[in-house]
Amino acid sequence: QCLYQFLAFVPPSNESLRKPGTASVMVDTQHPLTLLLNSSVGDRDLCKIQYHFGEFGNYSLVVKTLSTSTQTVSCDLIINEGPINSYLPILFAFLVYMGVLALLIAGRLLMKIDPVRNWVYKKLDPRATDRMINSELGSPNTADSINCDPTPQSWSTGSRQRLRSLDTFRGLSLVIMVFVNYGGGKYWFFKHESWNGKLHFPSALFSRFVFIMGTSVALALGSMLRWGSSKWKVLRKILWRSFVLILLGIIVVNPNYCLGPLSWDNLRIPGVLQRLGFTYLVIAALELLFTRADSGTWEGRFPALQDILPYWPQWIFILVLETIWLCLTFLLPVPDCPRGYLGPGGIGDFGKYPNCTGGAAGYIDRLLLGEKHMYQHPSSGVIYQSTMPYDPEGILGTINSIVMAFLGLQAGKITLFYKDQPKQIMSRFIIWGIVMGIISAILTKCSKEEGFIPINKNLWSISYVTTMSCFAFILLLLIYYLVDVKKWWSGAPFLYPGMNSILVYIGHQVFANYFPFKWKMQDSQSHAEHLTQNLTATTLWVIISYILYRRRIFWKI
């Protein structure tokens, strides 16, 4: 539902020289396009062609006049040079990483030979690291393990074995996020969706972070209280870590390393770490208020719901929050915009609401924060050419990030209440995943644009939250089964960045433009060069996190 945008003016042909009029343009290849040819006389539509152009292809649209009296023309699309196969670099990179994996597997097989294993253990002494990880949970003080990047204890009082699936889940999301933030090889499916619809890789990453943060809070809080920490002491830690996270976020999203002093007039206030910090504050405080040091079996009715019914005040709080989001989103009057508008503004919706980007969410941010303190280049500007600033980490969307973290908190409670019962844990993960999927199907009517509430990462719509929660429960189930139940996979290499996630996230932002994470390319249009650079940078952060893991260095806030 976009307005047609002027692309080119084709001059009339020179009949004396028999030279046709020509015009050269570049078009986008991410989506199918509609080309509309208008007559300069009378503004008549002469022909319309719908086509999905291929990357780096060369095409000609040949227009011939068939009848001057009726102004009938023919439009033929000719492929002068076929598009390239831009996915070959991905295949090559996949083969390289599979080769590295094969070498690692061969190394593991060699480790089964006693002389080799004894020599390696003598040189590297990995058991010391494992003992430290399992006993101290990556922190000098067990009671200090609760934070925004929690490293929770598991539930077993006999052998306090770390729950590796959580770190693996967090690390997997972080590694993909680093790769995407570095450019994702300049592939369209590694970019954020302009507005509604398709769930590209970036759409799921931040939400997984929020989800697993909630899971970790449930485990870490119970652990601290069991170790004798008072609730007031834990609350002080929660407040301090939330403050540090928000402060770090403001510093990271306002980089002025080479631009001179920072201007307070243009300081961006929202951001990823800011939202994580505030979400953590609300969820951790909410859980602290109702959690119990003893997470044993509930003696009330309906024992199958022991992870839900004792916490009914939390559910009421979350429902109230969601009601507030729905009322503000659909009932708040926004100047010059229809109520309940969820569109991108700009040329979307046939250009009817150009200054309504984000509806109530954008209006609240502009009203409370000011336009200069928001993100100035939203993804909606790419396709919909919106000119209004819009922040995807704005105020209204934070409500639904709290809901997302609360669903992650529920996953943590499941692991606590059904300790040593992996079948019960996995069955409940499946049930929650199915329930969230059904809610998403109802809200969206299984469509991109026609549902009651479309899936939208920029708005953090409730359908986005339920869809991402569905995927998160299923992914956590798979990782938990492979890593902690069957122990077929150690979680490597994602385990290592997952245990140092704050350091890796902030580090990859701060050093994004420094060598060896970035260098000048020979061909800035080459997917192969971009992919090589982005994968190299991402791999370096995995190696750095592994070295820190070996040296027992874990940055906690």
Pairing of strands 45-51, 58-67: unpaired
**Which residue, 287, 277, 228, is CA-closest to 411?**
287
Cα-based angle 194, 196, 200 (whole degrees, multiple of 5):
65
Q: How far apart are CA 5 and CA 325, in angstroms?
A: 35
Q: How far apart are CA 266 and CA 269, in angstroms?
A: 9
**Which residue, 185, 211, 195, is CA-closest to 88?**
185
- Residue 406 near residue 217 (C-beta atoms within 8 A): no
Q: How far apart are CA 274 and CA 287, in angstroms?
A: 20
**How much of the chain is in helix, strand and coil states, percent to nearest 5?**
55, 5, 40
Q: How far apart are CA 538 and CA 200, in angstroms?
A: 19
Rg over CA atoms, the chain: 27
3-state secondary structure of 314: helix
Cα-based angle 280, 296, 220 (whole degrees, multiple of 5):
25
Residues 6+ positions from 507 with CB-CB distance below 8 Å: 541, 544
3-state secondary structure of 302: coil
Q: How far apart are CA 403 and CA 321, in angstroms?
A: 8
3-state secondary structure of 46: strand
Let me know if 527 is a catalytic residue.
no
Identify the sign of the CA torsion 169, 475, 414, 272.
positive
**Which residue, 418, 441, 439, 420, is CA-closest to 428?**
418
| Residue tagged active-site, from 31, 52, 192, 377 | 192
**Which residue, 468, 470, 462, is CA-closest to 443?**
462
Stated length of the chain: 557
Q: How far apart are CA 494 and CA 504, in angstroms?
A: 12
* Residues acting as catalytic residues: 192
